[in-house]
Amino acid sequence: MSEHKKEPGVLGQLYGIFFAKHWPVWVGGIVLGTLNILLFAIKSPWGASGGINNWGENVYRLLGLFNLDNAKPLLTNNYGMLCLFLVIGSFIAALLSKEFAFRVPPVGELIKGFIGGSLMALGATFGIGCTIGAFFSGMPALSGGAIIFTIGLFFGVIVALKYLMWEMEKFPGFSTGKSYNFLSGTGKKGNWQKWLGWIVLIITFFIAYQYSDKNKVLAWFIIIGMLMGLISQRSRFCIVKAFRDPFMTGEAEGSVGVMAGLIIGLFGFTIIKYFGIGIGEATIRSREMTWVFSHFFFRAAIGGFIFGIGMTIAGGCAVGTLWRVGEGQVKLWASALGFILISPISKMYIVPPVVNLLPKNWDFKSYMPDYIGYPGAFILVTCIILLWYVFVKWNEKTGRFSAY
């Protein structure tokens, strides 16, 4: 008599859809783009570097360094909590899929993680944004500076890739050596991860509920941050992958996923700005200028370039670093540490003297509809995304610009 494996029930099948295997990146991009629109409708769009900077300010405030006594406490900072619960959301997803483990790479990789995170901090503070705030949210916000920041990212990634290839050729031993893996969830012994995942999920909703009476905005930032972390982990959503992979392996999957999120965000952001949705006590003009930073053109170009180098060396962008922290990748812990420690220092002591040397007309808020109208700005951003899509798909087929 043959034994048949018991088929999972309806809820088990649903669980398997979400946690048995990874999602296509484009699915993650679409859902993240939709959640970004919800954040904008509630208050303001997705950003990461500001939240990470808030972490750093609170670390230095606790240590009594740099006169940061007036730093906004993490527990009341929308973006600090958004980033924190993005990490927690990734942790939940990794647990529920039994993918959490402490993955400790060779020492050389840890060093590169810290250096990469430090460079991302420099790039974000100089460019007033990161791959999320200045790119993934900035492009749909119709910011001219976002386009310049993106060009800077592109060239930064190219330079960093050339460095990594040089390093592999000249110093192949730097990033090699022993790596370690602890608390892996493989087999039946890893079932504790699922139970812990449910517990952390329930705690997250309980925390959001505690905020719901006094600060509804922060309560929803907590919930959406958790969902963003979960979705990013399940879909392996990472912007450095979108910029790097076409020039390394030729793969376009990561790029297409980011483009899907950008297109969704573009529709939602344009509608919110055009109709002045969620104005509250503000004016239509202030709603239009949301996420349009005063970095056009020099600060966006240099900030994007430095950030592009940093994220490629670290192996994770702002969001990619956070969700990889949640699933236990210790190299990205080093990257997050570099970002956290250097960001407040750069913001207070490195960026201001450099910016003061620049001519005042080198950087301003460039809102594209002011120059070419809403239809023109919408079409321009759409065309940029379509050209990017055509390029990566052509390159995927031909391998013309791929290193491998």
The DSSP result for 209-230, as a single string, is HHHTTT-HHHHHHHHHHHHHHH
What is the model's pLDDT at position 281? 65
Q: Where does the pLDDT of residue 387 fall: very low under 50, low under 70, confident under 90, or very high at 90 and above?
A: very high
- Domain membership flag for residue 12: no
Q: At how many degrees (to 10) do helices 144-170 and 107-127 cross? A: 160
Rounded to an integer, the average pLDDT of 64-72 is: 91
What is the model's pLDDT at position 2? 47
Using one digit for the tens of pLDDT, what is the confidence trace for 247-276?
989 999 999 999 999 999 999 999 999 998
CB 40 within 8 A of CB 270: no
- Domain membership flag for residue 58: yes
Q: Is the pLDDT of residue 235 over 70?
A: yes
Find the domain containing 43 and state its range: 23-398
- What is the domain count for the chain? 1
Q: Is the pLDDT of residue 305 over 90?
A: yes
What is the model's pLDDT at position 10? 84
- Domain membership flag for residue 77: yes
What is the model's pLDDT at position 1? 43
Q: Where does the pLDDT of residue 189 fall: very low under 50, low under 70, confident under 90, or very high at 90 and above?
A: confident
- Domain membership flag for residue 99: yes
User: Considering only CA atoms, which of 206, 228, 202, 181 is closest in space to residue 87?
Assistant: 228
Rounded to an integer, the average pLDDT of 291-308 is: 96
**Strands 180-182 vs 102-104: parallel, antiparallel or unpaired:** antiparallel
Using one digit for the tens of pLDDT, what is the confidence trace for 1-20?
445 566 778 888 888 888 88
What is the model's pLDDT at position 278? 81
What is the model's pLDDT at position 221? 98
CB 133 within 8 A of CB 305: no
Rg, Å, the chain Cα set: 21
CB 125 within 8 A of CB 350: yes
Rounded to an integer, the average pLDDT of 35-46 is: 96
- Domain membership flag for residue 157: yes
What secondary structure letter does DSSP report for 390? Answer: H
In percent, the amount of the chain with pLDDT more than 90 equals 82
What is the model's pLDDT at position 4? 56
- Domain membership flag for residue 393: yes
Cα distance between residue 25 and residue 255, in whole Å: 9
Quote the strand ranges of 222-334, DSSP E: 296-297
Rounded to an integer, the average pLDDT of 128-143 is: 96
Cα distance between residue 323 and residue 391, in whole Å: 28
Q: Is the pLDDT of residue 43 over 60?
A: yes
Classify the C-alpha dihedral 327-330-331-337 as positive or negative.
positive
Q: Where does the pLDDT of residue 318 fall: very low under 50, low under 70, confident under 90, or very high at 90 and above?
A: very high
Cα distance between residue 134 and residue 145, in whole Å: 8
Q: SS3 for 173?
A: coil
Burial class of residue 172 (count of CB atoms within 10 Å of its CB; 0-12, 13-18, 19+): exposed
Rounded to an integer, the average pLDDT of 330-356 is: 96
User: Considering only CA atoms, which of 16, 74, 2, 363 is closest in space to residue 218?
Assistant: 74
Cα distance between residue 96 and residue 14, in whole Å: 13
- Domain membership flag for residue 96: yes
Q: Is the pLDDT of residue 31 over 70?
A: yes
What is the model's pLDDT at position 42? 94
- Domain membership flag for residue 6: no
Mean pLDDT of the residues in the chain: 93
What's the predicted TM-score (pTM) here?
Answer: 0.94
